[in-house]
Amino acid sequence: MQRLIDAFFNSVRAFRKLAVSEKAFQQELMLLVLALPLGWFVSVSWRGYALLVGAVLLLIMVEVLNTGIEAACDAFSREFNVDIQLAKDCGSLAVLISVVIVAGVWGIAIIERITGLPI
């Protein structure tokens, strides 16, 4: 049980640090704050709502992992290194893919709401 408690406090510490210092994380938190009520009006079902909010949470999760990769790389070396650049670029690509997923899920849900036809 102590491990779970420690993990919780580690997670809270990371959340606070990212919420204060990482602009992308702050923007994605604002997106989540907007998605929670907006998703309720856009979705046509509980499953749809869960998918809309879940897509935004997926984006936030990938951003957190990307930030962790960048922090680990910076802790190892701040000098240019091809392998470190690849690691950072891959993290950035993962965030971009997550953004595309969010845009696709929300786009389909909005079209479904407007047309009234399930896609």
Q: Are 52 and 31 contacting, i.e. CB atoms less than 8 angstroms apart?
A: no
The verdict on whether residue 112 carries a ligand-binding annotation is no
Q: Which of 63, 67, 73, 98 is catalytic?
A: 63
The verdict on whether residue 6 carries a ligand-binding annotation is no
The verdict on whether residue 70 carries a ligand-binding annotation is yes
- Whether 79 is catalytic is no
H helix or E strand, kind and range, residue 65: helix 46-76
Q: What share of the chain is helix, strand, coil (3-state, %, to 5)?
A: 90, 0, 10
The verdict on whether residue 63 carries a ligand-binding annotation is yes
The verdict on whether residue 28 carries a ligand-binding annotation is yes
- Binding-site members for substrate are 3, 24-28, 63, 92
Give the active site residues: 63
- Binding-site members for a divalent metal cation are 22, 70
